[in-house]
Structure 1
Amino acid sequence: MGESASSWRFDAIGTVWEVVTVEPLPEPARDRVRGRIEAFDRSWSRFRKDSVVTRLARAGGEVPLPDDAGPMLDALAAVWEATDGAVNPLVGRSLEALGYDARYSLVDRGAVAAPPDWRRLLAWDDERLMLSSAATIDVGALGKGRLVDIVLDVVCDETAGDVTVDAGGDLAVRGTPQRIGLEHPFDPRRAIGVWEVTDAALCASAVTRRAWPSATGTTLHHVLDARTGQPVRTIAATWAVARDAMTADAVATALFFDGGPRLAHERGVEWVRMTTDGRAEWSPGCSAELFLRTDNVER
């Protein structure tokens, strides 16, 4: 964006947001953004006592279908299938068992696999969300991307011209192309490359974000293989560019597993990922500019 662009920064859902527009966003529009984020959080947060997710986690049950449930759960089902069950919307209890719980205890109580038969336990139709027994829904695999799309739609309805919505590195751009640095997962002072994003979204995930030590001295983090309840150990970071942020976020999560590249190809998503031993991989025709040694890359 040009030098005259206006930036609005605020905290929400545990991260820093920045909304950049040509003109300052009016206060009523900001209120609409805050309202949509609050409504989303009140439905899907594992960290607040009054959320729909928390209520269902106690004993299961049936509730009116929350906004955005259908698109997100349908997309999660596709990622679950593509990753052979490694991504699972009932992974919440697995995260809690490792200490990533509502109290942020960060106390490892042992790995717990997510229910492999989640499709039998969790169901939804046009009106209802149903959980047949106590379990914790977690939409972290793509939820922030979905919320970026929601906020982008609100902002674009309220203002003309270029718009960028950035939620802690998951972002969507409308209008003038933006060059986005790809933060090195092992050194936040460095970038492994730059990606120019035009009328699209870029989402990233890294095992170095939301990481904490276990009692045995190993490092735990929030990217789990739901089949084992254990953190992934082979992929360090992923980046994906798609037409919308929910798709980019979903693919960025899937790329931690073997089925991710295939899902990206099927959805027309470009991607980059870095392994924990420092190698880089990327999709055919990927437009990112990567700053890598030629002996440390893999197509």
Structure 2
Amino acid sequence: MPPEVLVPGTRTSTSFEAIGTRWTLTAAEPMTAAVLDRVDAAIAEYDAVWSRFRTDSAVAAVARGEAVDLGPTAPPLLDLLADLRERTAGAMDPFVAASLEHLGYGASTALRPADGYLPAPRAEVVREGTVVRTEPPRLLDVGSAGKGQLVDLVADVLADAGHADALVDASGDLRVAGDPLRVALEHSFDPEAAIGIVEVADGAIAGSAVNRRDWSLGGGRRLHHVLDARTGRPVETIAATWVLADTAMLADALATALFFVGPDTLTDAYDFRWVRMRTDGVADWSADLPGEVFR
């Protein structure tokens, strides 16, 4: 869910729409047209590989049974998702695309769900280096970490161009370089309120919430995009999560994982700070959180 970014001092910024998301890039120094062209190219290249909404994407070809070279972003992304699939006992699964499409969240913008719920089909990712296929052929959905990885790639473009003090904001996935930023955590039940404020310094924060990307099932019931892949049902006990980590990819992925497991399941392998809010309005957070949560 998009946090409110509290940016001190004077900055230059530019905003645009890409991959269905509002992006804002902010830097201490003006960003040249050449740098912004490199940002556009990085986003377009990533979308051409990983978009499950495009029939001409690389993952669409994988779903048709092809073995495809997905490039250098594939190994770290798929390794992370494979580990979290195991740690969540299959609740977080890269083959949840079928479950989302069953509920209407596919390439069409109609959002018309079919009856009932569809568990994610069982499949495995088979890799040889960066060449990927699935057995059997299935559509991959890397949305639980992919936007975060793309935020990291855009941040790398800015860093390579000499922007040592910069912010990449992709509607809730943030990567900060340079001066620390204070970030307000939006309340899931009141978008005008915050449940806390944290400081992000040379790292990333990502959030996920059930009031984002939600739609009606009819009869007063509403759906959202965070599904338990084992059942195909939207999660009912957690309302929102936030994770601070070194990279946006990791923060994005762990924010999703916290809908299914407690942080103790993840802390032996990953260094992160977290806030989690239940649907009853009660929140808990890590003891070393760099900020405060309002009681």
TM over 0.5: yes
Using the TM superposition, give the Cα deviation of residue 265 of structure 1 relative to its aligned residue in structure 2, in angstroms. 5.0
**Which residue of structure 2 aligns with residue 107 of structure 1?**
112
Q: Residue deviations 1:86-122, cap 9 Å, x none?
A: 0001110110000001002211113111134x33xx2
What's the TM-score, normalizing by structure 2?
A: 0.94
Contact 2:210 2:240 in 1 (8 A): yes
Between the aligned partners of 2:33 and 2:57, the Cα distance in structure 1 is 26
Using the TM superposition, give the Cα deviation of residue 285 of structure 1 relative to its aligned residue in structure 2, in angstroms. 2.1
Give % identity.
48
Q: Residue deviations 1:278-297, cap 9 Å, x none?
A: 000112322231111xxxxx
User: Which range moves more in the overlay, 91-100 or 102-111?
Assistant: 102-111
Contact 2:61 2:68 in 1 (8 A): no
Between the aligned partners of 1:127 and 1:67, the Cα distance in structure 2 is 6
Using the TM superposition, give the Cα deviation of residue 52 of structure 1 relative to its aligned residue in structure 2, in angstroms. 1.2
User: Which 5+ residue runs of structure 1 have no aligned equivalent?
Assistant: 293-299
Between the aligned partners of 2:174 and 2:87, the Cα distance in structure 1 is 24
Residue 251 of structure 1: which of 242, 249, 254 is its match?
A: 254
**Which residue of structure 2 aligns with residue 70 of structure 1?**
75
Contact 1:182 1:194 in 2 (8 A): yes
- Amino acid in structure 2 at the alignment position of 1:81: E
What's the TM-score, normalizing by structure 1?
A: 0.92
**Which residue of structure 1 aligns with residue 96 of structure 2?**
91
**Which residue of structure 2 aligns with residue 287 of structure 1?**
290
Q: Residue deviations 1:220-269, cap 9 Å, x none?
A: 01000000011000000000000111111111010001254421453121
Check if 1:155 corresponds to 2:161: no
Between the aligned partners of 1:230 and 1:147, the Cα distance in structure 2 is 27
Using the TM superposition, give the Cα deviation of residue 55 of structure 1 relative to its aligned residue in structure 2, in angstroms. 2.5
Contact 2:240 2:278 in 1 (8 A): yes
Change over 3 Å in CA distance of 1:135–1:177 after alignment to 2: same
Contact 2:49 2:70 in 1 (8 A): no
- Amino acid in structure 1 at the alignment position of 2:28: V
Check if 1:166 corresponds to 2:172: no
User: Which range moves more in the overlay, 199-208 or 215-224?
Assistant: 215-224
Residue 7 of structure 1: which of 7, 13, 18 is its match?
A: 13
Using the TM superposition, give the Cα deviation of residue 2 of structure 1 relative to its aligned residue in structure 2, in angstroms. 4.8
Larger helix percent: 1
- Amino acid in structure 2 at the alignment position of 1:69: A
Alignment of 1:163-202 (within 5 A): 163-202=166-205
Contact 1:108 1:215 in 2 (8 A): no
Change over 3 Å in CA distance of 1:279–1:15 after alignment to 2: same
Between the aligned partners of 1:205 and 1:289, the Cα distance in structure 2 is 18
**Which residue of structure 1 aligns with residue 4 of structure 2?**
none
**Which residue of structure 2 aligns with residue 296 of structure 1?**
none
Contact 2:198 2:289 in 1 (8 A): no
Using the TM superposition, give the Cα deviation of residue 217 of structure 1 relative to its aligned residue in structure 2, in angstroms. 2.7
Contact 2:228 2:234 in 1 (8 A): yes
Between the aligned partners of 1:260 and 1:60, the Cα distance in structure 2 is 36
Q: Residue deviations 1:181-203, cap 9 Å, x none?
A: 00001111110010110001000
- Amino acid in structure 1 at the alignment position of 2:93: N
User: Which range moves more in the overlay, 92-101 or 129-138?
Assistant: 129-138
User: Which range moves more in the overlay, 198-207 or 126-135?
Assistant: 126-135
Contact 2:72 2:130 in 1 (8 A): no
Aligned residues: CA RMSD = 1.4
- Amino acid in structure 2 at the alignment position of 1:236: A
Residue 43 of structure 2: which of 2, 26, 37 is its match?
A: 37
Using the TM superposition, give the Cα deviation of residue 60 of structure 1 relative to its aligned residue in structure 2, in angstroms. 1.9
